[in-house]
Amino acid sequence: MKLIENKSETAGLELPERMTQTAEQYGYKKVVKAPATSIALAVTAGIFIGLAFIFYITVTTGNHEASWGLSRLVGGFAFSIGLVLIVICGGELFTSTVLTSIARASKRISHRQQLACWGRVYLGNFVGALVLVALVYSAKLYMLDSGQWGVNALQIAQHKLHHGFGQAVALGVLCNMLVCLGIWMTFSSEDVLTKALLVVLPVALFVSTGFEHCVANMFMVPLAIAIKSGAGPDFWAATGMSAQAFSDLTFSNFIFNNLIPVTLGNIIGGAMFVGLTYWGIYRRPTLKSESKIVNHLDKIKGTTIMKNSNVTLQVKEFMHAPTASLTESTNLMDALTAMLSLHQTGMPVVNSNHQLVGFISEHDLLRELWLADYELSAEKTVGSIMRREVATVAPGDCLIKLAEFISVDREKVYPVTDSGFVLSYKAQSLEERLAEADVSRPKIYPVVENGVLVGTISRTDIMYAFFKACGGKDDSLHSKVTHQAA
């Protein structure tokens, strides 16, 4: 049996809503990936982006007769090979890793997890870039075209150090808006060639216009510093220039005048302007609607609830004492194990004082399994997916009121105001109105008294209560109840 199906049901583009969910999963997988794997892939991404800059330097060297715009456009197209390699061959690039902001906004990861992921990817990108710098310098590529290749590299890097702090931040914002939009568009297709083509134009736009990319600069500026510091007299003689003309190419200037402000801009452009913007438009309303569940039932104490009977039934008479509960820090695999071993399809979540803080059901776990391609992370906890707004009841609540709330939309059956005014009228029987008044509400409810969890009650418990009220004699049935979660 095929367990995991292709989530794209058509060959065409997916809806933006689906792309946002894919982006959330994209960010989540980056965070839960094994650190060693993440760092290794980040090193490769740093190398790929460096290779792209080598291509850019090569195609723009000696283009003195070409117009400024066309020369830069050619360079932009050449540079796009870097992101194409990352998308197709795999790699962890810091500027796209900031899209983990979506998974954080959806509370699937913690701030600590997110920052740890950013840190290792950033470090890996830097290491990969410096490894390529060493290779390029050792290969003496700066001597190409009688040293003009090296001069071009020096001038490109020197220009990057002359931005003001605010200007560098703004250029970083613009750059990563385009990088992340390019990555975002790849979520619309499963075809590899389509993915590759989708990233080309956004990258060509940011490169040709001179926007700033922190990982590209991790290669470009150190390479220029290496050429300035280590190129021999033959290089300077061939180019007719001197090292003193590039005295501002230092690591101190690089870090403070370029890398820090550009990195900040890249984070703002990718994490906020792209990630959180689309999350707010497409994902947040969905999450908000998913968390909208009813408030506490009106505390109507036990009353006579059945015709021809003076029986009064309350929740406390048929609820189950809480045999087990979970905490927010419980691992999802442990939560799944507990639910299966206890034959429960939903469990309350409590704090150290046994106060109710949430509820997790099999529905919540199945949704998470789907989002994670049916793999549960060892770092994912109950608190990240549980429902925090929980419908609860009190021990003294009327059982018939709860039964009605679970099964019938009373306002549709009896469309009148509290004062008795009819809101709408249809010539229908009670049975017909009842058929249209169906509701979908939780099947199991935590019982809370003074904020403390004292038990749970389910639909099956309520059915047993009515069974007893109708004269049922089998007292062993209640011990066989299996709770069913919302």
The number of beta carbons lying within 10 Å of the beta carbon of residue 468 is 18
C-alpha closest to that of 401 among 390, 416, 391, 387:
391
Question: How confident is the model at residue 411, as a pLDDT?
Answer: 60
Q: Please state the length of the chain.
A: 486
Split at pLDDT 50, 70, 90, the class of 147 is very high
Number of domains in the chain: 2
The token duo for 413 is: 């059956």
Q: Residue 448 pairs with which residues in a beta bridge?
A: 453
Do residue 341 and residue 282 come from a single domain? no
Domain containing residue 142: 16-289
Of 273, 289, 305, the last residue of a domain is 289
* Vertex 249 angle, CA 245 and 254, to 5°: 155
Do residue 355 and residue 259 come from a single domain? no
Question: Does a structural domain hold residue 94?
Answer: yes
Do residue 235 and residue 339 come from a single domain? no
Residue 467 sits at φ, ψ, to 5 deg, of -60, -45
Do residue 100 and residue 200 come from a single domain? yes
Question: How confident is the model at residue 299, as a pLDDT?
Answer: 37
Of 254, 289, 324, the last residue of a domain is 289
Question: How confident is the model at residue 391, as a pLDDT?
Answer: 83
Do residue 248 and residue 374 come from a single domain? no
Question: Does a structural domain hold residue 213?
Answer: yes
Question: Does a structural domain hold residue 149?
Answer: yes
Question: How confident is the model at residue 373, as a pLDDT?
Answer: 79
Give residue-wise pLDDT tens across range 269-326: 999 999 999 999 988 887 664 444 333 444 333 333 334 344 468 888 888 887 778 9
Which of the listed ranges 12-16, 89-93, 452-456, 476-480 does the model predict with the highest average pLDDT?
Answer: 89-93
Question: How confident is the model at residue 303, as a pLDDT?
Answer: 36
Indicate the pTM of the whole model: 0.65
Do residue 329 and residue 208 come from a single domain? no
C-alpha closest to that of 461 among 315, 350, 263:
315
Split at pLDDT 50, 70, 90, the class of 243 is very high
Question: Does a structural domain hold residue 351?
Answer: yes
Weakest mean pLDDT among 127-141, 247-261, 303-317, 356-370: 303-317
Question: Does a structural domain hold residue 302?
Answer: no
Do residue 353 and residue 445 come from a single domain? yes
Do residue 320 and residue 271 come from a single domain? no
Question: Does a structural domain hold residue 90?
Answer: yes
E strand map for 351-466 = 356-361, 444-449, 452-458
Residue 112 has pLDDT above 70, yes or no: yes
Do residue 240 and residue 358 come from a single domain? no
Do residue 68 and residue 140 come from a single domain? yes
The token duo for 41 is: 């892939």
5 vs 344: which has the higher pLDDT: 344
Question: How confident is the model at residue 298, as a pLDDT?
Answer: 41
Do residue 155 and residue 266 come from a single domain? yes
Weakest mean pLDDT among 88-102, 167-181, 331-345, 432-446: 432-446
Question: Does a structural domain hold residue 194?
Answer: yes
Write the CATH number for 223: 1.20.1080.10
Q: Give the pairing of strands 444-449 and 452-458.
A: antiparallel
Q: How far apart are CA 194 and CA 184, in angstroms?
A: 13
Question: Does a structural domain hold residue 408?
Answer: yes
Q: Give the pairing of strands 444-449 and 356-361.
A: unpaired
Q: How far apart are CA 298 and CA 475, in angstroms?
A: 30
The token duo for 112 is: 């600590």
Average pLDDT, the chain: 84
| Helices assigned H by DSSP within 109-147 | 111-138
Q: Are 266 and 95 in contact (CB under 8 A)?
A: yes
Question: How confident is the model at residue 481, as a pLDDT?
Answer: 47
Token pair 């150090």 is found at 161
Do residue 37 and residue 184 come from a single domain? yes
Work out the average pLDDT over 55-61: 97
54 vs 446: which has the higher pLDDT: 54
Q: How far apart are CA 128 and CA 219, in angstroms?
A: 9
Write the CATH number for 342: 3.10.580.10
pLDDT over 70 percentage in the chain = 82
Work out the average pLDDT over 356-360: 88
Question: How confident is the model at residue 433, as a pLDDT?
Answer: 55
412 vs 86: which has the higher pLDDT: 86
Token pair 């794997």 is found at 37
pLDDT over 90 percentage in the chain = 50
213 vs 333: which has the higher pLDDT: 213
